[in-house]
Amino acid sequence: MNNFLPIAYFQNKFVPFAEANISIATHALHYGTGAFGGMRGIPDPQNAKQILLFRLDRHCQRLSDSAKYLQYDLPADKIKQIIVDFIKKNQPNTSFYIRPFVYTSDLGIAPRLHKIEKDFFVYGLELGDYLSAEGVSCRISSWYRQEDRSFPLRGKISAAYITSSLAKTEAVESGFDEAILMNSQGKVCEATGMNIFVVRNGEIITPGFDQDILEGITRDSVITLAKDLGIKTIERPVDKSELLIADEVFLSGTAAKITPVKRIENYQLPENRPVTEKLRQKLIAITENQDPNYQDWVYPISLEE
């Protein structure tokens, strides 16, 4: 059962979560004309009256960019201020996840983006590990990732997640934890809500933006950390066969953080994952504001008046 934070931001004001409701005729509900973000917050291990958000500015900018696909002008600075106020009003005391969402809020039935009302809401829920930190099993999905020529994949558009939902259910109902999607060219793309990385011979390989992936913020963080740690990182197309002989494979995302992959189809991957573990521990230290070299990635919010 989800434990939602008590206060939501809805229709330009803060209201009890239970009162933040939309009509069954809402345009975005029918056509997937929405875009969302997702970010984690944790209580500061050194200060219980302070919340830490990971890469808040980057998340706000990506949502602002996603809103542009809906012809909605929503400045990143406005999103940021609302999220800060949202946290102060909710006073969370455990790890949580924030879901800001932009959408066509009109009650019309014509599929369009022009001359239609848009709105923005924010809610949150308590959230621990989304995937097992011990590792997950993955299958290659029979569903393929959309193409950028028919879908704005650089935005987190809600309609895109029908493919993720189909792939996730297919994977779980066939005995796996997660699915890996291929793109239309038959190359490895991403998981249902995470980017994917392959480690071979001490080097990291990951699909580039030309492979129809989402511009993941945790993905960007992993690439930066790897370079800073002196680990060679290559962005290029990845073949399915490379996954099966990889030294390590891991997934990255806001909800998943860094999650190792222990099995793909019927191929067991090595249990020793030195690169994955080094990056995972580094990212944990940064999100807990324990690494002075990356303090600009952590946004502290005081819960005290």
Residue 295 makes CB contacts below 8 A (sequence gap 6+) with: 289
Residue with tokens 């879901």, as numbered in its chain: 99
DSSP 19: G
Residue 5 makes CB contacts below 8 A (sequence gap 6+) with: 17, 90, 92, 96, 123, 124, 125, 126
Gyration radius of the chain's alpha carbons: 19
Q: How far is CA 220 from CA 5, 16, 233, in A?
A: 29, 35, 11
Amino acid, res. 295: Q
Structure tokens at 1: 């059962």
From the list 156, 168, 262, 282, the catalytic residue is 156
At residue 47, φ and ψ (nearest 5 deg) are: -155, 100
User: Residue 261 and residue 112: Cα distance in Å, rounded?
Assistant: 40
Residue 156 annotated as catalytic: yes
Instruction: Give the bridge partners for 197, in sequence order.
Output: 250
Q: Where are the beta strands (DSSP E) in the chain?
A: 7-10, 13-16, 34-36, 39-44, 47-54, 96-104, 118-126, 136-144, 178-182, 188-191, 195-200, 203-206, 233-235, 248-253, 257-264, 267-268, 298-302
- Chain CA centroid to CA 252, Å: 8
Question: Which residues have a catalytic role annotated?
Answer: 156
